[in-house]
């Protein structure tokens, strides 16, 4: 699985493009913290978008937006991101994004088509 680090100056266009390409995808989100271990944030909610906030109230943060219905909507904010990696399969499919914050907490977003999720 090839892995590419995304330079910080490219985060905004990368997340915009990635969000548009995966609007109908399910996202499994896991947070791995040096203090708390591994925590599941979301198991299969539709990806509404990922953005990098350059100027807003969460300036300098990456915001994951999951769920398309009001009762399932979830936002996960990554403060002080330091690194973003994009992992794709040999076929070129977008399999995962890994975001590491300055405190070494890692957020892993695994993407799969909604058709691959059992009903």
Count structural domains, the chain: 1
Q: Domain with 72 in it: what CATH number?
A: 2.70.180
Alpha-carbon distance values, 67 to 13, 32, 34, 40, 42 (Å): 22, 21, 27, 15, 9
What DSSP designation does 93 have? -
Range of the domain at 54: 3-116
Percent of the chain past pLDDT 90, that is, above it, reads: 52
Please give the backbone phi and psi of residue 73, each rounded to the nearest 5 degrees, phi first: -65, 135
**pLDDT value at position 32?**
95
CB 25 within 8 A of CB 97: no
Model pLDDT for residues 4-60, shown as the tens digit of each residue = 999 999 999 999 999 998 887 889 999 999 888 888 888 888 999 999 998 877 788
pTM equals: 0.85
């Amino acid at each position: 699985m090839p892995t590419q680090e995304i330079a910080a100056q490219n985060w905004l266009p990368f997340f915009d493009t990635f969000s548009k390409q995966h609007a109908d995808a399910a996202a499994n989100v896991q947070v791995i913290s040096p203090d708390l271990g591994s925590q599941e944030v979301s198991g299969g909610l539709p990806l509404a978008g990922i953005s990098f906030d350059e100027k807003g109230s969460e300036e300098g943060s990456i915001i994951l937006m999951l769920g398309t219905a009001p009762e399932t909507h979830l936002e996960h904010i990554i403060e002080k991101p330091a690194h973003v990696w994009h992992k794709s399969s040999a076929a070129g499919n977008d399999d995962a994004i890994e975001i590491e914050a300055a405190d070494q907490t890692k957020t892993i977003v695994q993407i799969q088509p909604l058709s691959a999720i059992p009903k």
